[in-house]
C-alpha cells in the first residue's frame, strides 16, 4: 500500500524519498532559513516501481518547480542510468521540472553538502548551471511519465 505524500498542493519544492521514515530527518533542514519551511514543501516517497503512477499523479498535481531526489534509486528513476557521483548536488532540467539529486539523509556529510548546494540554487546563487537532460529509463523499471 502506498503512503500518500504530504504538504501543500501548490508547493514549489518537492522532496522524493525511498521511505516515508526518512521524512523526519529532513525537518531540521526545512527551517525557512537554510531551505524553505517544512509547511511549504511537499514530501513524498516511492516505495516500489509499482507506485510510479501514484507518484506521477502527485507531482503532476503539485507541479513543483524543483524536485529533490534522495538517493540513487529515486535519482535514477528521474534521470535514468547515471553515474551517481557526478550528478549529486547538480540541478537538471527534465521537461518542466528541475530535478536536484541529493544523497540520502543517512549519508550525513554528503547529504549536508547537497543541501547547501540546494539552498544556494533555490536562493539564486547556483553553483552550477541547470543541465538539460533526456532521461534514459532504468533497465529494471518504468520511468514515471511526468507531464513534461
Residues 6+ positions from 33 with CB-CB distance below 8 Å: none
Among 40, 36, 55, smallest CA distance to 115 is for: 36
In this prediction, the residues of the chain whose per-residue pLDDT falls under 50 are 138-142, 148
Q: How many domains does the chain have?
A: 1
User: Is 87 among the domain residues?
Assistant: yes
Span 12-48, pLDDT tens digits: 999 999 888 888 888 888 888 778 999 999 999 988 8
- pTM score, whole prediction: 0.84
**Which sign does the torsion angle of CA 36, 85, 135, 56 carry?**
negative
Judged on CB neighbours under 10 Å (0-12, 13-18, 19+), 120 is middle
Tell me what pLDDT residue 21 has: 86
User: Is 147 among the domain residues?
Assistant: no
> Could you tell me the CATH number of the domain that includes residue 96?
3.40.470.10
User: Is 8 among the domain residues?
Assistant: no
Residues 6+ positions from 141 with CB-CB distance below 8 Å: 49, 52, 77
Judged on CB neighbours under 10 Å (0-12, 13-18, 19+), 17 is buried
User: Is 6 among the domain residues?
Assistant: no
| Residue 124 belongs to domain spanning | 13-132
Amino acid at each position: 500500500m502506498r503512503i500518500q505524500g504530504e504538504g501543500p498542493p501548490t508547493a514549489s519544492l518537492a522532496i522524493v524519498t525511498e521511505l516515508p521514515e526518512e521524512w523526519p530527518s529532513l525537518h531540521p533542514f526545512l527551517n525557512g532559513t537554510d531551505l524553505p519551511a517544512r509547511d511549504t514543501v511537499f514530501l513524498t516517497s516511492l516505495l516500489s516501481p509499482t507506485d510510479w503512477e501514484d507518484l506521477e499523479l502527485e507531482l503532476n498535481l503539485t507541479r513543483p518547480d524543483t524536485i529533490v531526489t534522495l538517493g540513487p534509486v529515486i535519482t535514477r528513476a528521474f534521470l535514468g542510468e547515471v553515474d551517481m557521483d557526478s550528478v549529486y548536488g547538480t540541478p537538471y532540467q527534465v521537461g518542466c521540472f528541475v530535478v536536484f539529486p541529493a544523497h540520502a539523509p543517512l549519508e550525513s556529510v554528503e547529504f549536508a553538502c547537497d543541501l547547501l548546494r540546494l539552498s544556494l540554487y533555490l536562493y539564486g546563487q547556483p553553483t552550477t548551471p541547470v543541465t538539460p537532460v533526456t532521461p534514459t529509463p532504468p533497465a529494471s523499471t518504468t520511468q514515471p511519465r511526468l507531464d513534461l
